[in-house]
Amino acid sequence: MPRVPLLAGAGVVAGELPEGAVVLRPPAPKEVVADVAAAVQEALRFPLEGPALEELARGATRATIVVELPSLPIPGAPADPRQWAVEGAAAELERAGVRSESQTLLVAGGLARRPGPGDIAPLVRPEFRRRFRGRVVVHDVEDERIVELGTAGHVPLRVNPALVETDLVVLVSAAETVVHGGPSALTAAAGPEALRAAGAWSLLETAASQGWQTAVALERALSDRVPLLGVSVVLNHPQLLATSLRGFPFEPDAVARIASSPVRRAFSLLPAPIRAGVLRSLRREITAAAAYAGPPAVAHAEALLRSIAAREATLAEPVDTMLVGIPPTTPHLPRELPNPLNAAHLGLGVALGLWRDAFPVVDGGTAILVHPFRRRFAHPTQQPYRTFFAATRFGRDPHELHEHERAAAVDPRALAAYRAGRTCHPLLPFADWAACQPALVRLGAVLVAGCRDSVAARQLGLVPTHGLGAALELARGRAGDDARVGALLAPPYFPVRVG
């Protein structure tokens, strides 16, 4: 039977899969851009569609550069190509006549905790921070100065004033999903109504994504007010740099070596906080494969197609059971130990949302999340998650949950803590839970392998099990002895094309 290493919170489990199991691995990176800043500048001079940056900036005296918090991929790397992309965009603006002191760097964080000075530092390199003379604005979704641009259906479109009180807007993002990067960077700098509407049936398909439709409507409304240009960077799959881990998860030999390594067994004996620290300290490298510019939706769509082609794994047909390892980190910045809802969101909302053509698990199938599911909430940053669990302790009736969400959205203490940068927005847990629904409505059961808090799992409607072996036995009992089993060798999670 094949053995594969799966992250289980701060531990690594070597799971023994049944014969015929499908192990999904992303392809190794092939193309690498040596100078990302130069590639971004060239893309801005020769966009896929529409006028170049130099033409849009003619006569402009102010410009706003929009950057998203690099929450994807999970986990990331200290040196991110998006840092050089921001430098390239700023340099091209200066070449077009917009001086550095007239540029605004708008950090679009959505509903995540508002970053402080220490959290903003990783967005750009130290050399750029020393020479940048413009201002830095951190988006506040509750800012009373937020500007209304219209509506998209019943969703109000309200954006940060820095997007309107300027002569030119340049979006710099990475092509990760349809609701991360591109025009969705504008949504991350919008009001809470647009952010709560930013859902997606698939994170890689625009057709059934309300988040994409809202973002495109926001782009159109903003482009009627101010010239707008986007640049999307195609990121390669992150690579581990340690010699003993090199080649994982791309090479079967590296996967087998780690699964049978005595170091893995010794690692499992360490205390959980030490294991989590070791996993976070592993050196990773993220490179870029290309950069595209143009209207944000156009550039992002092209870059996302290129990113999917470079990173996707192919699954011939949906499986009956899918194993998903969950890392010891939150899906949002700042990175912290995840609570059970964070873990469920990583597995159901992110890992099982990165599909094209078809959902990777058959309707009524089983997903196995490998994670201890301990109910711990980092204080004070995860306080809204405590509120969510208190609201669901008697069930998850949609109408009652909606009432709890409405109450949380106007809670003055929770909003004050968010605006002060102490916690995430009180709506973020409800948005995370909504992101799990596309997977939950398709799955017949979600098992939590190695669960240490059965109450937390059952409160979310999941089934706790003692270990991976017990979870596989339960899944086989549901689907039969000839059930097809799949395993995602992640994180970082990657696109899966089915069929």
Residue pair 469/490 in contact by the 8 Å Cβ criterion: no
In this structure, of 302-306, 364-368, 375-379, 411-415, the range with the lowest mean pLDDT score is: 375-379
Please give the pLDDT value at position 430: 96
Can you tell me the mean pLDDT for 13-42? 92
In this structure, of 40-44, 77-81, 165-169, 411-415, the range with the lowest mean pLDDT score is: 77-81
Q: Find tokens 């196995």 and name the residue.
A: 368
Which string of b and e fits 464-489 if b means at least 16 CB within 10 Å? Answer: bbeebeebbebbbebbeeebbbbbbb
Instruction: Return the SS3 of 463.
Output: strand
Cα 127 from Cα 54, distance rounded (Å): 25
Q: Percent of the chain beyond pLDDT 70?
A: 100
pLDDT digits (tens, 9 = 90+) for 441-450: 999 999 999 9
157 HSE (CA, 13 A, CB side): 22
Please give the pLDDT value at position 1: 55
Please give the pLDDT value at position 246: 82
Please give the pLDDT value at position 7: 85
pTM value is 0.94
What tokens were used for 321?
């059971």
pLDDT digits (tens, 9 = 90+) for 349-367: 999 999 999 999 999 999 9
Element (H, E) at 174: strand 169-174
pLDDT digits (tens, 9 = 90+) for 226-270: 999 999 999 999 998 887 788 888 888 888 888 888 877 777 778
Write the CB contacts of 490 (distance below 8 Å, at least 6 apart in sequence).
26, 249, 324, 325, 351
Element (H, E) at 320: strand 319-325
Please give the pLDDT value at position 121: 72
Average per-residue pLDDT for the chain: 93
Q: Could you state, in order of their start, the residue ranges of all structural domains in the chain?
A: 3-26+312-498, 36-235
Please give the pLDDT value at position 357: 95
Please give the pLDDT value at position 339: 95
Q: Domain 36-235 class?
A: alpha beta
Q: Domain 3-26+312-498 class?
A: alpha beta
Element (H, E) at 445: strand 445-449
Q: Which of 439, 446, 471, 449 is nearest to 460 (CA)?
A: 446
Please give the pLDDT value at position 265: 73
- Provide the pLDDT confidence category of residue 6 given band limits of 50, 70 and 90: confident
Please give the pLDDT value at position 279: 80
What tokens were used for 65?
């550069």
pLDDT digits (tens, 9 = 90+) for 395-423: 888 899 999 999 999 999 999 999 999 99
Q: What angle do CA 371, 176, 289 make, to 5 degrees?
A: 120
